[in-house]
Structure 1
Amino acid sequence: MPEEYPLVDVAKIFPSLHIDLKYATADNLTGHPIYQEHLCLLHADAATALAKAISIATLAGLKLVVYDAYRPQEAQAQLWQACPNPEYVVDVAIGSNHSRGTAIDVTLMDEHSRMLDMGAGFDEMHDRSHPYHPSVPPHAQRNRLLLNAIMFGAGFVGISSEWWHFELPNAAGYPLLEDQFACYTPAHTSR
């Protein structure tokens, strides 16, 4: 990784953090793995905020689970192709804050390593995935509020369309980064 890009390896900094990179698996909106490497990278500023979020979650008796962090622009292009809806996926021509290393997708698990019910799964691209939706059962809405409180307390902000997405308040002010690791091509994954 070039030194001018201040990305850090989250797994090395936080070895006990649960990382389930969805785009390194077929468990995502494309139905196939996109990332060739299982690397969870963040800009150093976002990693500092993540450290606070981990501490706050621990105080609440919870653990964070990371679904995605830095995302190569090639991966963003594949997501846009699978879901060309700007409410949920940023057009690669604009550039995702994930491709700046300033955004992270997370959820919560309890002290017994059970995932908390959020009322909609990761990458479910419909209005029930919005942070506040009337069809989400009260217990799941409480879990979303808890996640929001943890992430906001650490210095992240959410977005209006995905309960799992958080970013630095000035995320778009950071530069888009050259791809830091390889992605599978759609032709490769259709075999």
Structure 2
Amino acid sequence: MLMSTTARLAVTVAATTVFATTPPLSAGAAARPQEPRAPREFVALDSVDPTIRQEMRYVSAHNFVGERIDGYRQPVCILTRPAAEALHRAQTRLLTQGYTLKVYDCYRPQRAVDHFVRWAKDLADERKKAEFYPRVDKSRLFEDGYIAAKSGHSRGGTMDLTIVPLPALPAPPPGPGQESVPCFAPQAQRYPDNSVDMGTGFDCFDTLSHTDDPRVQGAQRANRQRLKSALTAEGFVNLPEEWWHFTYKPELFPDTYFDFPVSRRSVSGHRP
């Protein structure tokens, strides 16, 4: 079928637009979608304070899902610079007391949150129930507030963390069956961690994880208060339902949920 002059002109213009907006490929290279990068306000935490320990749980399979979470490419804590600098000040305070901070999670991409949501909707997948949510029916994870479609972590000013006594010794490998021990069991029985005893493990879906739960007393309560005091003094706000969860205020991006991957590449080249 022959095209009119007008139609031929339209095809020519359209082709020109595609070529003008498509970057040239090197010989033999395949086209790949461009990954989003972090805004300049984000930094790797260890570029601000290399003394803070990092045990990024969602890069490993030891988490409530039971596999590496989407978007976690490397075990690196990424935060907005004001949050990282405030965390450094809290660390300085704790070091004088014989402790160090340890982060479990920091910035979390939206694709990771989406992974949590997909997992929560799959009621048949209960690989990690015995450890992380033994007393919660999986069908109630949304209703009870353990899983949500959006997370403050994706805004860059929220982190999950604990404290470790100095000298910080590595945690021993888990013994047989410890990955099935409830997260609220006595510390010597549950999955090993080199942190102080907080009464529950990290990401324990249970009311015992509430920061001020009256059933948590003695050294466990004192440890929670030590962490909370050090962080609130520097502008962090604790989520009452999770002793490990803190947000630096005011947030730089209170209404933005980012989706760049967790990797050094996402923040490489940034300068103060």
The answer to whether the 8 Å contact 1:9/1:40 transfers is: yes
TM-score by length of 2: 0.61
Encode CA deviations 1:24-57: one digit per residue, 9 max, x unaligned.
1112111111123222100112112111111111
1:104 paired residue number: 159
1:27 aligned to 2:27? Answer: no
Deviation at 1:177, TM superposition (A): 4.0
Conserved? CA contact 1:56–1:154, under 8 Å: no
Give the drift of 1:151. 0.7
Query: Any unmatched runs of 5+ in structure 2?
Result: 1-35, 121-140, 169-193, 264-272
1:16 and 1:143 mapped to 2: Cα distance? 20
| Amino acid of the structure 1 residue aligned with 2:94 | A
TM-superposition CA deviations, 1:129-167 (whole Å, max 9, x none): 000112224110110010100111121010111000000
Matched with 1:149 is: 229
CA distance in 2, matches of 1:11, 1:173: 21
Is the radius of gyration larger for structure 1 or structure 2?
2
| 2:214 alignment partner, SS class | coil
Match of 1:13 in 2: 48
Residue in 1 that maps onto 2:198: 118
Do the aligned residues in 2 keep the contact of 1:87 with 1:161 (CA within 8 Å)? no
Distance 1:3 1:28 in 2: 25
Task: Give the residue type in structure 1 aligned to 2:113.
Answer: Q
1:50 match: secondary structure? helix
**Separation in 2, partners of 1:31, 1:123:** 12
TM-score, structure 1 as length reference: 0.85
**Could you tell me the percent identity over the aligned residues?**
31
What does 1:40-51 align with in structure 2 at a 5 Å threshold? 40-51=77-88
Q: Counterparts of 1:154-169 in structure 2 under 5 Å?
A: 154-169=234-249
Structure 2 counterpart SS, 1:48: helix
1:97 shift after superposition: 1.3
- Residue aligning to 1:131: 211
Q: 1:153 to 1:36 in 2, by over 3 A?
A: same
